[in-house]
Amino acid sequence: MSAYAIQIDVLPQYVAEQSDPLHKVFAFAYTITVTNTGTAPAQLIARHWIIQDDQGHSEEVKGLGVVGQQPLLAPGESFQYTSGCRLRTASGTMHGSYFFVAADGHRFDAPIDTFVLDASGSGVSGRTLH
């Protein structure tokens, strides 16, 4: 088992009540569970997302923490949050990474595999192990 291992589970969903398809506004929420599957405590410091609609428009989002927090995860501990984004099309994708610093000072990225945002309700949830 690696000292620095993070599991990321993603559950995307379309938010119809915050969307306005006639004006090309499609709102999506995604619930992410971050679990430290390694042996070293690690703190989530920053996020990096690439959000792309199905017409190729891409947006890059970088920032400290997630939902205003920088959780410190002991081995076996999880942190769950829900956030969202808006697209100009009824579907798109997201992928990215979280930057972590372990208790021993080791720095590492936990990549987040591409997941689908789909207003038809057939969004694909995913699990990323790193």
Given this model, what pLDDT does residue 130 score? Answer: 45
pTM confidence score = 0.90
Dist CA 37 CA 33 (whole Å): 12
Q: Which pLDDT tens digits describe the chain residue by residue (130 residues)? A: 799 999 999 999 999 999 999 999 999 999 999 999 999 999 999 999 999 999 999 999 999 999 999 999 999 999 999 999 999 999 999 999 999 999 999 999 999 999 999 998 644 455 544 4
Domains of the chain, with CATH numbers? 6-117 (2.60.40.1470)
Q: For the chain, what percentages of helix, strand and coil (3-state, to nearest 5) are there?
A: 5, 65, 30
Given this model, what pLDDT does residue 121 score? Answer: 65
Termini Cα distance of the chain: 11
